[in-house]
């Protein structure tokens, strides 16, 4: 059976108008990021709303993020989780971190967000060695796809039992279902297959944005 309906521009505008609770700073950040040549790396507003909703209903307070870019997902999550939350965000590009910090500061969440400015694999090792095992309530994987399987395994160490892991781009523009896949799409496909059979977790792959896998660590 095919998908239920196609979201055209008009319907998408409707979703943005009625399906999210926008914030002027988030809106401004979306506008600045849209001017960048790679602005599409930013998660969509409705995805951020959904992730914030998940954080609220699970009372998540300790958030781990792989891939900050200009800070949209991290800002949305910090706002959703509230003043008593803490985020640890992994990002290798200093220029992006500077843009993110500008908006985090404007929104009053900068002090609650720690950035590990390094390659994410090295940052994971740092977290393991510094007592962050079973620490996080919620992790979001949205950086390079080559290492996505390793990030998933690190998350299973760093996220507590009962915590949530969300993985972005699991449909990779539909390429995961094609016969001939790029290296990136193939890495994601391998991870999707592993998660489906992984009895350490409960899972659901949902076709929002570029595909999100929702993982519950048992």
Ligand X SMILES: C[S@@+](CC[C@H](N)C(=O)[O-])C[C@H]1O[C@@H](n2cnc3c(N)ncnc32)[C@H](O)[C@@H]1O
Closest residue (Cβ) to ligand X? Answer: 67
Q: Judged by CB, which is closer to ligand X: 72, or 138? A: 72
Q: How far is the CB of 5 from ligand X (least distance, A)?
A: 26
Q: How far is the CB of 207 from ligand X (least distance, A)?
A: 18
Q: Which residues bind ligand X (CB under 6 A)?
A: 41-43, 67-70, 72-73, 90-93, 96, 119-120, 142-144
Q: Judged by CB, which is closer to ligand X: 31, or 161? A: 31
Work out the number of other CB atoms within 10 angstroms of the CB of residue 187.
Answer: 20
Q: Judged by CB, which is closer to ligand X: 73, or 213? A: 73
Q: How far is the CB of 18 from ligand X (least distance, A)?
A: 22
Q: How far is the CB of 42 from ligand X (least distance, A)?
A: 4
Q: How far is the CB of 197 from ligand X (least distance, A)?
A: 26
Q: Judged by CB, which is closer to ligand X: 117, or 160? A: 117
Q: Judged by CB, which is closer to ligand X: 87, or 143? A: 143
């Amino acid at each position: 059976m095919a998908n239920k309906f196609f979201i055209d521009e008009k319907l998408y505008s409707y979703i943005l108008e009625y399906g999210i609770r926008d914030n002027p700073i988030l809106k401004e950040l979306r506008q600045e990021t849209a001017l960048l040549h790679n602005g599409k790396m930013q998660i969509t507003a409705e995805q951020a709303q959904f992730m914030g909703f998940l954080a609220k209903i699970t009372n998540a307070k300790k958030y781990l993020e792989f891939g900050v870019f200009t800070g949209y997902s991290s800002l949305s999550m910090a706002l959703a989780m509230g003043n008593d939350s803490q985020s640890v965000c992994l990002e290798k590009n200093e220029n992006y971190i500077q843009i993110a910090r500008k908006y985090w500061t404007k929104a009053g969440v900068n002090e609650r967000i720690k950035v590990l400015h390094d390659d994410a694999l090295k940052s994971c090792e740092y977290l393991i060695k510094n007592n962050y095992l079973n620490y996080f309530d919620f992790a979001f994987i949205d950086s390079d796809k080559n290492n996505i399987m390793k990030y998933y395994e690190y998350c299973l160490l760093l996220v507590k039992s009962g915590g949530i892991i969300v993985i972005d781009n699991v449909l990779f523009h539909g390429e995961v279902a094609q016969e001939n896949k790029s290296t990136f799409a193939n890495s994601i496909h391998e991870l999707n297959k592993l998660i489906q059979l992984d009895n350490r977790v409960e899972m659901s792959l949902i076709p929002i944005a570029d595909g999100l896998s929702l993982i519950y660590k048992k």
